[in-house]
Amino acid sequence: MHVDGFRFDLASALARGEGGEVLHNPPVLWGIELSEQLQKTKLIAEAWDAAGLYQVGSFPGYRWGEWNGRYRDIIRRFVRGDKGIIREVATRICGSSDLYQSQDRLPISGINFVTCHDGFTLYDLFSYNV
């Protein structure tokens, strides 16, 4: 079917055990990462879940690309005109090393985005004030 990859919505839910506890080495995520059938497939995680687990910069595994929610949030604030955020804007635009470097991961681990399927369109995001 020529599928290049898969994005997992609220992927951090797959890092939890049966009782909801956060697993250090979640078997489902490692099974996906180490699958021979998926070895040439892009794996993209929305690295948070609805229960508050936020794993951007620390999502389990090495092949996963992570939606960088911190990038999304600071760019939206920048475009809105918020003051005092230039350092963080620069950090995010330059690859968010503060999130990925301590895990020995490269900036390509993060996927920068501003809007997606479950929010405003890009036009609405920047034109809607009230």
Secondary structure (3-state) at 19: coil
Active-site option among 9, 73, 82, 98:
9
**Is 9 considered catalytic here?**
yes
Active-site option among 46, 49, 66, 88:
46
**Is 49 considered catalytic here?**
no
β-sheet with 42-45: strand ranges across: 5-8, 42-45, 64-67, 110-111
Distances (CA, A) of 108 to 20, 57, 66, 67: 30, 11, 9, 11
C-alpha to C-alpha distance for 63 and 8, rounded to whole angstroms: 13
Residues annotated as catalytic (active site), given as ranges: 9, 46
